[in-house]
Every structure is written in C-alpha cells, then in structure tokens.
Amino acid sequence: VRSVRYRDPLIRSLHTLARDDILVVCPRCAAGAVVAPLTPEGRTDCWQPRRFACHACGHTDTWERPAATAWGNPVDPYFRMPLWLRVPCCGRELWAFHEKHLDLLDGWIGAKLRERGDGPRGMTLLARTPGWMTSARNRQEVLRGLRRLRQTLR
C-alpha cells in the first residue's frame, strides 16, 4: 500500500540494513541463500561475524573482522556474493539487500511527497538515493523494477 506522503525513517546507511538477513545467490548452486548474523549481537551491530548458508546445497561460510567489506554495490558487503534482488532498470541496475530494503525504496520513490523529517544532520540513506531512481521520468519503471524484485521473494 503506497501513500502519497512518505516520511524518511532516517536510516543512516546500508550498515543499518546489513544487520538483517541479506538475500544472495549461492556461488556454488545459484539458489537463493542468506547472509545472516552469526550471533544475536549481530542484529544490532553490522560488524559482528556473519554466516553464509545455502539450504539448497549445504554450502556455508563465515565472515569475521578484519576481513574487508564492500558497500554500495549489488553484492553482500561481507562475502561479496551477488545479491538475489537485482534487476536491470533504466539502463542501470536496481538492487536491494532484502524485503525491508525494497519497502524503503518503494515508499520513497513511490511517494508524491518525500518528507525528510527531523533528524540528525547529514544525509540519510534514502536522501542519498541516486537521482536516476528518484527522477519523475524514471519513477514508473523503477517502481515496476521493485515489483519484479518483490515477486522473486514468493
């Protein structure tokens, strides 16, 4: 359900979204797999160890600091596996970590009125959304892309 107004929930960065399970493509069998916190602490701290697990083929892996991370690309930041939620869109690539990320983009891009909200200084994740995604010209195609991604979750 899309509303006319959408208030920025003031999520600072992808680091916050990475606390939740990230949907990836298994490098061994290409099935959908998950990068998740290894311990409960990881649900509130994206720098805690992560575990990759594929239920289709049984492949697992563990990430721990100080191994390097990669942010801002269509891969999970820890293992750099391709995200499950990726689709060509407007000559670019639309991607998301998980369903909650889709919800945020959908709300922000679909809204007629984007409310920045009162928050700490500095740009939020949504305020930094690339211009090609928020431009009125691309809006319908981006929203279609988000719908296509959502369908792959069923």
Measured from the CB atom, the residue of 29 and 67 that comes closer to Zn ion is 29
DSSP 3-state of 147: helix
Out of 7, 51, 59, 139, which residue is the one contacting Zn ion (CB under 5 A)? 59
Q: Which helix (H) or strand (E) holds 134?
A: helix 131-134
Query: Binding of Zn ion at residue 60 (CB under 5 A)?
Result: no
Angle (nearest 5°) at CA 77 between 22 and 87: 60
For residue 15, the Cα-to-chain-centroid distance in whole angstroms is 10
Query: Binding of Zn ion at residue 55 (CB under 5 A)?
Result: no
Shortest reach from residue 52's CB to Zn ion, in Å: 10
Measured from the CB atom, the residue of 81 and 94 that comes closer to Zn ion is 81
Query: Binding of Zn ion at residue 26 (CB under 5 A)?
Result: yes
Region of 26-34, 44-52, 101-109, 112-120 interacting with Zn ion (CB under 5 A): 26-34
Region of 23-31, 38-46, 68-76, 134-142 interacting with Zn ion (CB under 5 A): 23-31
Shortest reach from residue 139's CB to Zn ion, in Å: 36
Query: Binding of Zn ion at residue 123 (CB under 5 A)?
Result: no
Q: Cβ of 36: how many Cβ atoms within 10 Å?
A: 15
User: How many Å apart are CA 30 and CA 116, to the nearest integer?
Assistant: 38
Confirm if 66 and 60 have CB atoms less than 8 A apart.
Answer: no
Shortest reach from residue 47's CB to Zn ion, in Å: 26
What torsion do the CA atoms of 26, 141, 98, 152 make, to the nearest 10 degrees?
-50
Query: Binding of Zn ion at residue 19 (CB under 5 A)?
Result: no
Closest CA to 23 of 61, 64, 75: 75
Residues at the interface with Zn ion (CB under 5 A): 26, 28-29, 31, 54, 56-57, 59
